[in-house]
């Protein structure tokens, strides 16, 4: 296998080492706010846990990695932490980094929510927190739509701030996954949608449910098309660690629309992915998307202005591990016991 770089080792240590510490902090917030309105819990959790952790991740993934971000199209020019739906093409594990970077620059780092595969809620340590943060876990076959609607109604009722992220293809695009491509093309034919070579046919259920339940709670829809340029200029689909040493530039094309515009155009998501196919095909030829953004936009400033304080905050949060043997023992017990409890609770955790 490939040798892990010092930066990769540092990131693994920071993510893994800080995980139990953030879990303790979240659990404390959850206990203290049990008698309080749910909105207060989410405000504190987003401000003290989720937001700082996401920005700390960007210190490494965007700051120290040296990867450049190039924006095109209707990119926001300034911070604007609005309730919004974000849709994007999905081709690799690293796509979460692009979502985090955008949310951080928009002022929404604490508000990121995902439609995520159901299996992710069983990820050791993190799964239980993702669930409590409010990620919506989706099962294949749409057999939990009623439960998803209930979750969305609850978010709206409690006025929860959010940047809800949806990858409508349902799984990662991989040109070598013939089974997924054949299913995508069969679905495309049934929906009178062209058979694409750079994206999968979007599944519209999640986006439609989101708009139906949260329409007047939202301000915008951000539509991102993502392409990764490797160090030799080729298009690649990196995993999280490959992002650090194989990606030269991330190219992001933006479109924006209102929820009202989407509600009036029932084919807006299909139209979006037709456009993605066109510009990704062109990108492979030219190495660029159309309409490069103006110089002064949310990607113009240094990532460190958004990430240094969260990094120091994380170091402070984890500092008891350095000075206290009891804290280190508690950390180890958390790492060992919480995943076991997650597995035992799996039959009850729908």
* pLDDT at 271 > cutoff 90: yes
Residue 216 has a pLDDT of 86
- Lowest average pLDDT, out of 20-24, 54-58, 191-195, 339-343, goes to 339-343
User: pLDDT higher for 286 or 138?
Assistant: 286
Is 70 exceeded by the pLDDT of residue 327? Answer: yes
The structure tokens 């796509």 sit at 95
Confidence of residue 207 (pLDDT cuts 50, 70, 90): confident
Helices 126-133, 325-345: axis angle to 10 degrees equals: 70
- Of all residues in the chain, the percent with pLDDT exceeding 70 is 93
Give the torsion through C-alpha atoms of 96, 99, 103, 108, to 10 deg: -60
For residue 97, what pLDDT is reported?
93
Distance (Å) of CA 48 to CA 55, 149, 297, 308: 11, 28, 27, 15
Split at pLDDT 50, 70, 90, the class of 320 is very high
Q: Give pLDDT, residue 330.
A: 93
Cβ-contact 16, 321 below 8 angstroms: no
* 64 pLDDT tier (thresholds 50, 70, 90): confident
Q: What are the pLDDT digits (tens) for 181-193? A: 999 999 899 988 9
Mean pLDDT over residues 308-327, rounded?
94
Nearest to 113 by CA among 93, 132, 91: 132
- The burial of 334, by beta-carbon neighbours within 10 Å (0-12 exposed, 13-18 middle, 19 or more buried), is given as middle
The confidence score (pLDDT) of residue 1 equals: 42
How high is the pLDDT of residue 315? 93
Threshold 0.85, pTM exceeds: yes
Q: Name the DSSP letter for residue 201.
A: P
Dist CA 319 CA 317 (whole Å): 6
CB 58 within 8 A of CB 48: no
Q: What is the pLDDT of residues 22-31, one digit of tens each?
A: 999 999 999 9
pLDDT at 184: 92
Task: For 102-170, give the DSSP string.
Answer: HHHHHT-GGGEEEEEEGGGGGSTTHHHHHHHHT-EEE-TTSTTHHHHHHHHHHHHHTT---EEEE-TTS
- Predicted confidence at residue 145, as pLDDT, reads 81
173: which 2 tokens?
Answer: 């695009």
- For 218, residues 6+ apart whose C-beta sits below 8 A from its C-beta are 82, 83, 84, 85, 211, 259
- Give the pLDDT confidence score for residue 247 in this predicted structure: 93
Q: Which two tokens stand for residue 187?
A: 């679905």
The mean pLDDT of 211-225, rounded to a whole number, is 91
Residue whose tokens read 């729908």:
350
- 134-145 average pLDDT score: 73
Q: What are the structure tokens assigned to 316, written together?
A: 């402070």
Give phi and psi for 191, each to the nearest 5.
-105, 10
> pLDDT-based confidence at 2, cuts 50/70/90?
very low
DSSP secondary structure string for all residues of 3-67: PPPHHHHHHHHHHHHHHHHHHHHHHHHHHHTTTS-HHHHHHHHIIIIIHHHHHHHHIIIIIIT--
Higher pLDDT, 55 or 295: 55
State the angle between helix axes of 51-58 and 304-318 in degrees (0 to 180), rounded to the nearest 10: 110
3-state secondary structure 51-118: HHHHHHHHHHHHHHCCCEEEEEECCCCCCCCCCEEEEECCCCCCHHHHHHHHHHHHCCHHHEEEEEEH
Model pLDDT, residue 130: 87
């Amino acid at each position: 296998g490939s040798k892990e770089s010092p930066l990769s080792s540092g990131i693994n240590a920071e993510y893994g080492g800080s995980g139990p510490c953030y879990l303790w902090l979240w659990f404390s917030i959850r206990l203290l706010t049990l008698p309080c309105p749910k909105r207060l819990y989410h405000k504190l959790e987003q401000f003290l846990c989720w937001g700082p952790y996401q920005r700390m991740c960007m210190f490494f993934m965007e700051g120290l990695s040296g990867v450049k971000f190039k924006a095109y199209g209707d990119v926001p020019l300034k911070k604007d932490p609005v309730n919004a739906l974000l849709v994007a093409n999905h081709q690799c594990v690293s796509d979460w980094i692009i979502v985090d970077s955008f949310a951080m620059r928009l002022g929404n780092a604490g508000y990121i929510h995902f439609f995520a595969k159901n299996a992710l809620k069983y990820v050791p340590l993190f799964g239980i927190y993702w669930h409590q943060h409010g990620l919506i876990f989706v099962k294949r076959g749409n057999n939990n739509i009623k439960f998803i609607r209930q979750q969305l109604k609850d978010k709206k009722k409690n006025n929860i701030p959010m940047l809800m992220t949806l990858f409508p293809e349902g799984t990662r695009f991989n040109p070598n996954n013939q089974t997924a491509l054949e299913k995508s093309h069969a679905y495309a034919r049934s929906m009178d949608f062209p058979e694409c070579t750079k994206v999968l046919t979007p599944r519209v259920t999640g986006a439609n449910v989101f708009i139906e339940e949260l329409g007047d709670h939202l301000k915008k829809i951000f539509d991102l098309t993502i392409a990764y340029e490797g160090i030799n200029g080729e298009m690649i689909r990196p995993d999280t660690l490959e992002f650090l040493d194989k990606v030269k530039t991330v190219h992001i094309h933006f479109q924006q629309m209102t929820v009202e515009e989407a509600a009036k155009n029932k084919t807006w998501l299909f139209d979006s992915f037709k456009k993605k196919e066109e510009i990704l095909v062109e990108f492979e030829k030219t190495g660029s998307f159309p309409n490069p953004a103006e110089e002064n936009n949310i990607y113009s400033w240094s990532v460190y202005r958004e990430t240094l304080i969260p990094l120091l905050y994380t170091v402070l949060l984890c500092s008891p591990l350095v000075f206290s043997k009891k804290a280190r023992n508690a950390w180890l017990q958390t790492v060992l016991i919480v995943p076991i409890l997650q597995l035992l609770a799996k039959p009850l955790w729908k």
